[in-house]
Amino acid sequence: MTNLEELILEELLYESVRASVDIDKLLRFDRDLKASIEKTLESLSSSYEERQALAMDYLLRVPIRTPLPGGGLPKKMLALQSAGV
């Protein structure tokens, strides 16, 4: 194996481990976030049905708050902004 091949292999292995660590961190963050959402929903509504309806209401808002790849805003969000909402 040449020095270049060894360096490439080392870099590939490093990136693989780093990606695994990043995925683990992301999964833990997602788990904690979902637990926080559930606690907040429970504090805002007493029944399962109310929590589901409230969650759905907020989920329907996600597309207008999520930027598009490249940093642009969805057309729906731009329309709401121009309407002063």
Cα 61 from Cα 44, distance rounded (Å): 18
Q: What is the pLDDT of residue 85?
A: 45
Q: 68-78: per-residue pLDDT in tens?
A: 566 665 565 55
Which of 50, 76, 44 lies closest to 63 in space, CA to CA? Answer: 76
Q: 56-69: per-residue pLDDT in tens?
A: 888 887 766 666 56
* Largest CA-CA distance found in the chain, in angstroms, rounded: 66
pTM greater than 0.75 (yes/no): no
Residue for token pair 């590939």: 12
